[in-house]
Structure 1
Amino acid sequence: MSRRHYDLPPFTTLSAFEAAARHMSFKNAAQELSVTPGAVSHQIKALEEELGQALFLRQHRGVQLTEDGKVLFETLGATFKQISQQLSRIRNRGGEEAVTVGSTTAVAALWLSPTVINFWREHPAINVHQITQDRPFDRVRDFDFFIAYGLSGDSTLSQTPIYRDELVPVASPVLAAQLDGIELDALARQRLIHLEAASPSWTRWSEWFERLGYTGDIARGARVTSYSVALQIARKGAGIALGWRRLVAPMLQSGKLVAIEPHTLPAPHRFYLCGQPDETLSDGAQKLKAWILSDAETHSL
């Protein structure tokens, strides 16, 4: 009979492996665990010896997970997240619940934050922590869920479609009036505001034109790394932004921006709510998820 009730390796070896696999670096894992890289390497080697299988491929420029390592990492990541959530529930029992949701800064400012405010008015005991960043979310287990454009490549996540937007050029009222009914080739020569998004799935002007059948040259225009900045430039009449009609609806309704018709395109991808499986979410997180999906359905195009 095993000396360990669940026949598990020592937790220190599992913890060291999970951190190293998440960072894909023994050095970064050591910094997180406040130990030396040698200690992390020792713990992982002990785990591999107990299992009788290699979990990492040691290479000159770093490490890679073996197939067994990938499976173990996915299992540990989900399990550690569930343990963390349960411990949080115990710590906060009788106190305030907290839910963490991530999004880009533009999604937060234009849609998510107003939705969260309305949710909080109905559920004041549930605190919602919003994390905004304009690069892909790689530490996904730090969130209950996050909003992404296009499917995530992480098969361990629950990915619920929210809505599909519509892409249309937007500009200041004066400029939009001047360009109303413009042909695609003429539009391509205007001062376009190009968003250099960190996410490869984000639709760019080149893809928009190509999907509408135009394959000629496109004006270089201005380049920005923030969608909020792109909209600000467009509002000031200094260029044309690629507008997400649903996302910028408040600015269209207020007249700060105007769509340049008639060229529109259904977004190639949907927005998704990506996160942990429903059964691992807290009651507060499940309520917020249902609220976000309901709000999206209510305000659909």
Structure 2
Amino acid sequence: MSRRHYNLPPMTTLTAFEAAARHLSFKNAAQELSVTPGAVSHQIKALEGELGAALFERRHRGVELTPDGRQLFETLATSYRQISRQFAKIRQGSELEATTVGSTTAVAALMLSPAIIRFWREHPDINVNQITQDRLFEDPRAFDFIVRYGRDDRSGLTHAPIYRDDLVPVAAPDLARSLAGSSLESLARQRLIYLKSPTHSWTTWAEWFHQLGYNGEVAMGSQVTSYSVALQIARKGAGLALGWKRLIQPMLDSGKLEVIGPHVLPAPHEFYLVGPPEAELPANAQLLKKWIINEVGEASV
């Protein structure tokens, strides 16, 4: 008889592997687990020895998962999510589990929250928790799904497209009207509001001008780390923001911002709902996911 009922390796080795695979970093895994990187490396070597297979490829600037490592990580991540949800149900003392959705603050205010409010009118008994932050979500698997501009290359994630937007310069109404019909060269001399994002998917002003055929000098301006802040600065007349037209439609409809025509660039990426595979989602999360795709996607056509 096996000394382990489920014939599993020690949990310490699995815990160390899961954290290292999620971060793709022994150092970051060690910080999360409050141990040394050497201890994480030792646990992973022990796991690899027991399995008789390499789980990571050690490289000069970090580590990558082997095919066996990716499969094991996806299995562990799925199992840990299911365990986490069961713990949440026990703690809440109810079988009614809230659906958890992540997004940036701007996406929440302009796209997600209005859609969820409409969803609640038809499904008042379904609880939805919104988590907002303007930095990269370290683990989208911890949510039922997140709203993301552009694809996430990390393994084990599914991408459900919502829509593709158009990128246009926007400003406060008076400033926008004074710049109507301006050339790209003229717009490039204006005070521009730059979004500094931890992801490289968001289109920058330099990329926008380049894609439209202008390769001259582009003026500097304010730099912010939140798209909501960029829009508020533009709304106050302090510069031009690069507007995702469909996303900011509520601000255009209210007259808080106006598009400076005629220059339009189709966004290079789509907005997606990113998260665990569909089969792993609870029924309520699947229902909300389909609702958002239908409601937001159809509204953008």
TM-score scaled to structure 1, two decimals? 0.88
- Relative to structure 1, the CA distance from residue 67 to residue 155 in structure 2 (aligned partners, 3 Å threshold; closer, same or farther) is closer
Cα contact 1:101–1:129 (8 A) shared by 2: yes
- Relative to structure 1, the CA distance from residue 37 to residue 227 in structure 2 (aligned partners, 3 Å threshold; closer, same or farther) is closer
**Counterpart in the other structure of 1:198:** 198
Counterpart CA distance in 1 for 2:194 and 2:202 is 11
Deviation at 1:85, TM superposition (A): 3.5
**Counterpart in the other structure of 2:20:** 20
**Counterpart in the other structure of 1:274:** 274
- Residues 183-202 of structure 1: per-residue CA shift (max 9 Å, x gap): 11111111111211221010
**Counterpart in the other structure of 2:295:** 295
SS in 2 for 1:165: strand
Deviation at 1:252, TM superposition (A): 0.5
**Counterpart in the other structure of 1:238:** 238
- Residues 273-300 of structure 1: per-residue CA shift (max 9 Å, x gap): 1111111000111111011111113311
Deviation at 1:121, TM superposition (A): 3.1
- Relative to structure 1, the CA distance from residue 186 to residue 61 in structure 2 (aligned partners, 3 Å threshold; closer, same or farther) is closer
Please tell me the residue identity of whatever aligns with 1:142: A
- Residues 146-202 of structure 1: per-residue CA shift (max 9 Å, x gap): 111111102411101100011111111111111111111111111111211221010
1:122 and 2:117 aligned: no
**Counterpart in the other structure of 1:99:** 99
- Residues 86-118 of structure 1: per-residue CA shift (max 9 Å, x gap): 555576685432111111111111111121222
Deviation at 1:25, TM superposition (A): 5.1
**Counterpart in the other structure of 1:150:** 150
**Counterpart in the other structure of 1:134:** 134
Counterpart CA distance in 2 for 1:34 and 1:113 is 37
Please tell me the residue identity of whatever aligns with 2:215: T
Counterpart CA distance in 1 for 2:222 and 2:39 is 49
Name which of structure 1's ranges 48-57 and 99-108 shifts more when overlaid on structure 2: 48-57
Q: Equivalent residues in 2 for 1:243-254 (5 A)?
A: 243-254=243-254
Q: CA RMSD in A?
A: 2.7
Counterpart CA distance in 1 for 2:42 and 2:187 is 61
**Counterpart in the other structure of 1:179:** 179
- Relative to structure 1, the CA distance from residue 48 to residue 240 in structure 2 (aligned partners, 3 Å threshold; closer, same or farther) is same
Deviation at 1:21, TM superposition (A): 2.7
Q: How many residues matched?
A: 301
Cα contact 1:85–1:282 (8 A) shared by 2: no
Cα contact 1:97–1:125 (8 A) shared by 2: no
Percent identity for Structure 1 against Structure 2 = 66
TM-score scaled to structure 2, two decimals? 0.88
Counterpart CA distance in 2 for 1:187 and 1:36 is 52
